Amino acid sequence: MFVDRDGTINPDLRYLAEASRVEVFLGVAQGIRLLRSHGYRVLCTTNQSGIERGYYQHADVAAIHARVNEILAKGGARIDAFYYCPHAPESGCACRKPGTGMLEKAADDWNVDLAGSAIVGDRSLDVEAGEALGLLTVVVPPPGHERRVELELASREIQPDIRAAGFLEGALRVLTRG
């Protein structure tokens, strides 16, 4: 199971560099705990162009990921591994979503059955990457950004397999495959 970070697990604070600012959306810990209890590995895949742009360093991203798992642990959950692309879109990196390189590496590292897996995200980029690999695609808009997400999907003519109001609902629907 692949999950996006900013806008899906935590609020997207645009180039988040400080672990102390990390918050996790309501229902994320419960959803991850539920997925893991059903045998899913939870792998976070996130574009982090702020590194190439000079806004923060690899160590900052590592600290943020540690903080995410620290918060999730309070709810009995954790992410198995974090993968990120440090490149800006104009670099043309194959690992940057909607490219699939990052997801393919995670799948190889963790022996993920792509046909039985899914991706949960808040952007068309997540859906496009998931579709390219044959994953079940789930869109979970951040609270208060439902219209923005729908407009982005419509403008790119992207149709996720599942639209969920929150992460926990998305996780439940992944488990029932719809």
6 is catalytic: yes
Contact 63, 53 (CB under 8 A): no
DSSP code string of 70-136: HHHHTTT---SEEEEE---GGG--TTSTTSSHHHHHHHHHHT--GGG-EEEESSHHHHHHHHHTT-E
The single residue of 4, 60, 122, 161 carrying the catalytic annotation is 4
The single residue of 6, 60, 126, 161 carrying the catalytic annotation is 6
126 is catalytic: no
- Residues annotated as part of the active site: 4, 6
